[in-house]
Amino acid sequence: MSQISLTFPDGNSRDYDAGVTPAEVAASISNSLAKKAVSATVGGAHWDLQWPITGDTQIAIHTMKDEAQALELIRHDFAHVMARAVQEIWPDVKVTIGPVIDNGWYYDFDREEPFTPEDLGAIEAKMKEIINKRDPVTTEIWDRDRAIKYYEANNEPFKVELIEAIPGDEPLRMYWHGHWQDLCRGPHLQNTGQLPADAFKLMSVAGAYWRGDSDRSMLQRIYGVGFQNKEQLKKHLHMLEEAAKRDHRKLGREMNLFHMQEEAPGQIFWHPNGWTIYTELQNYMRRKQRAGGYVEVNTPQVVDRKLWEASGHWDKYQEHMFIVEVDEDHAREKSINALKPMNCPCHVQVYNQGLKSYRDLPLRMAEFGSCNRYEPSGALHGIMRVRGFTQDDAHVFCTEEQIEEECARFIDFLSSVYKDLGFEEFEIMFATRPEKRVGTEESWDHVENALENAIKKTGHEYTLDPGEGAFYGPKLDFKLTDAIGRIWQCGTFQVDPNLPERLDAVYIGEDGAKHRPYMLHRATLGSFERFIGIMIESHAGKLPFWLAPRQVVVASIVSDADDYVHQVVAALKAKGIRAEADIRNEKINYKVREHSVGKVPVILACGMKEVEEGTVSIRRLGEKHSKVLPLDDVTTTLAVEATPPDLA
């Protein structure tokens, strides 16, 4: 038998018989390592302890201490144990797939009856039973025919379909523990007893389409979370509880920012507090955009279908539009209109007024464009995904050569805005040419290169999202996460040669001939609604002072101080600070608590001492102690703090 040389992380190497498994390698080092080992990294790949190694390579043996590998194995094995538990309780349930995800795993099942919360408890109990059996995990490679026959015989049509989708002659790996078997890439633990039976929890059950295809049957997906030990599980569950407190829907109610109601699903009734945030943010964006070389326009809400037909939206997007029909009793002619779902066609209309020269380009046309989209009911989510919203939208009309520069300029602009708003980090997704597309390959090459260069020039990392661009051009999406880690697209940058073509936008070039401009769709915040939702969650309601709807509450401690409280409020207002008086007949404890819960950043308490000395007792949100300071000092300090970041 031939020999192979395995190199360990410390640089030493040893010879073994070809076909040696990591389990055998571990045993050759020490008994304790053999027991503790869970997997290996072989030649850069995560390797099952049972898989043979056939050539010279690098090897590292993993134990539970290697967090990345351990968590992947644990979660993957939990998924298998859960599937086995389900089939032991309900033998007729069909299994499909069960991958590892952030913090845990899921497994999709096909079963007539819905799983209930009580069922989840029963499954958890069965899983613990299985783990305690400490069944060894074994694996074998099967050929396709055998695997297909096996699953056909066992009435597992989903597995058969999975195998049929696996390309050609790729060998199929089977895993067992106990009598239970699953088709799986691996790697897995050595035995089910290596799973921490007290460090997992089944979280929820929800529908999920088979193979992610909404035309196919809906399966039941059970989600679980799993960790190396009980403490980490507890920590995770606690984190979820904390995150729930930051939910913008809850804080929106508690801070009296907005509400929504049945009569206008997916639309927001902004209350004075919430609208203050909104307008402050909009004022800020308006100043930033002016400074950034944009001109601002405003275009109609209700637009005749003729324009949507010309733009192509009527064909492709109609089911997502609110259609407005004006009938003949009210209008001279019957007309069919749509509420605008986006601003671009209207912006081309503005562009098309008057002949443009190459000297006018790039033309950056911005609008705080109020849009309505008939989003699917299941997609609605608080103020993050709504049917009526306002984009901080703009379209840059430019030449192909200007795209790179405009893209870089936008990324810098967006970074500056995000930084001002407290988001140092964000994810850029670079979506490239899809299979179904228009335009020449040369043009796609050029435009994709322009975007890539722009990202590099501005010094950001990005994630490639191949094939996910629009049919007419590539795009960048800028994403932020909410309190529980759900990812939301906020900013966007899209290259579009298509709409100028459809709506016949032109400019006169240096050569005196007509040319077609490119149109760059771009939004920084995306929508005010979504961005405010994200901001509420990321700040847990404690917005930066300049954005806080109620910046200061001045509270009297005794009613003899009420007049002074009004003077203090007037002094603050004179400095442009949003201040209000609280002279209710309540104790100071009560007032402090109420305004703390309401996330008011500064409470100024005034008793007779302050009245006599011309001071205020300042207490900042989150701080336990207050400080007595001269009123003038406080108004000056707060006025500085109230300055928006772009004016500071």
Partner RNA sequence: GCUGCUGUAGCUCAGAGGUAGAGCACUCCCUUGGUAAGGGAGAGGUCGAGAGUUCAAUUCUCUCCAGCAGCACCA
User: What residues act catalytically?
Assistant: 344, 373, 391, 393, 395, 475, 521
> Closest CB to RNA among 8 and 317?
317
626 binds RNA (CB under 7 A): yes
Tell me the C-alpha to C-alpha distance, in Å, between residue 386 and each of 3, 69, 175, 263, 645. Answer: 64, 40, 45, 14, 28
Pick out residues in 328-357 that bind RNA (CB under 7 A). Answer: 341-342
Please report how close the Cβ of residue 331 comes to RNA at its closest, in angstroms.
26
Rounded to whole angstroms, how far apart are CA atoms 353 and 314? Answer: 23
Q: At what angle do helices 272-291 and 528-538 cross, to 10 degrees?
A: 110
Tell me the C-alpha to C-alpha distance, in Å, between residue 86 and each of 175, 204, 224, 238. Answer: 17, 14, 13, 27
Rounded to whole angstroms, how far apart are CA atoms 192 and 198? Answer: 13
**177 CA to centre of own chain:** 37
Residue 369-408 contact track with RNA, rule CB under 7 A, x = bound:
----x-xxxxxxxx--x-----------------------
> Closest CB to RNA among 179 and 436?
436
Q: Which of 394, 398, 403 is nearest to 448 (CA)?
A: 403
307 binds RNA (CB under 7 A): no
> Closest CB to RNA among 53 and 519?
519
Pick out residues in 125-144 that bind RNA (CB under 7 A). Answer: none
Size, binding site for RNA by CB under 7 A = 72
Q: Which of 295, 355, 464, 608 binds RNA (CB under 7 A)?
A: 608
Length of the chain: 648
For the beta carbon of residue 644, count every other beta carbon within 10 angstroms.
17
CB distance 91 to 155 below 8 Å:
no
Pick out residues in 236-295 that bind RNA (CB under 7 A). Answer: 249, 253, 260, 262, 265-266
118 binds RNA (CB under 7 A): no
Residue 451-470 contact track with RNA, rule CB under 7 A, x = bound:
-------------------x
> Closest CB to RNA among 286 and 566?
566
Pick out residues in 199-218 that bind RNA (CB under 7 A). Answer: 204-209, 212-214, 218
Residue 12-51 contact track with RNA, rule CB under 7 A, x = bound:
----------------------------------------
> Closest CB to RNA among 21 and 556?
556
> Closest CB to RNA among 290 and 593?
593
Q: Which of 43, 237, 293, 471 binds RNA (CB under 7 A)?
A: 471
Residues with Cβ within 8 Å of 1's Cβ and at least 6 positions away in sequence, in order, are 17, 18, 19
Please report how close the Cβ of residue 573 comes to RNA at its closest, in angstroms.
21
3-state DSSP assignment of residue 349: helix
Q: Which of 44, 114, 121 is nearest to 82 (CA)?
A: 121
Q: At what angle do helices 631-641 and 562-574 cross, to 10 degrees?
A: 40
Please report how close the Cβ of residue 9 comes to RNA at its closest, in angstroms.
36
CB distance 141 to 110 below 8 Å:
no
Phi, psi of 280 (to 5 degrees): -60, -45
> Closest CB to RNA among 106 and 507?
106
| Span interacting with RNA, options 124-132, 151-159, 404-412, 558-566, rule CB under 7 A | 558-566
